[in-house]
Amino acid sequence: DGFFFVEQFFVAHLAGNTAEQTQIFFLIGIISGDITCSGPSRRRYEGCCRAYEERGLPLWADYCVRSPFSMEGGYRAAQELLERHNVSAIFAMSDFMAIGAIRGLTDLGLRVPEDVSVIGYDGIELGNYYIPKLTTIGQQADLLAKRGLRLLLEGIEKHSPACHETVPYELVIHASVAR
């Protein structure tokens, strides 16, 4: 689900102070896709819920904005989040959303990561060239493509039903989060 890495990152950077760990969870805004029709969005959102639940914290609905998986969607969602709350971090469920969110924050006069940290999901190459360089939950795109092709061919040749596979992922820390 990847949110484990987001949680791990924030907790590791708070020097074990439980009060600060609890505080930071109340300040993370989440930009998600439509969890009612997208499997990856639903799984990533469920990962967020588990992380909050394991800490005994509520995940308030108004800290989560649903958005299309696009830069424009991330832009609008980040601005909506900041209208509602003074978040210190945003977890966007795709790198495209995260890049749009950074632009939305910048247009509000905020600095990333000085004012708001941003983490994306996917590990797209564009994130390595964006300013600031995007922190992300990186997936192995080549492995994802190979497995996807294999499943597609099996589906065509053997009439196999659709299935979901998870590829390995890792937190890739760059410049879009405060240290």
pLDDT tens by residue, 77-86: 999 999 999 8
- The pTM (predicted TM-score) of the whole model is 0.80
Provide the pLDDT for residue 7: 56
The Cα–Cα gap between 6 and 51 comes to 9
| Mean pLDDT across the chain | 82
The Cα–Cα gap between 43 and 37 comes to 11
Provide the pLDDT for residue 104: 97
Joined together, the tokens standing for residue 21 give 């760990």
Span 148-177, average pLDDT: 83
Provide the pLDDT for residue 92: 93
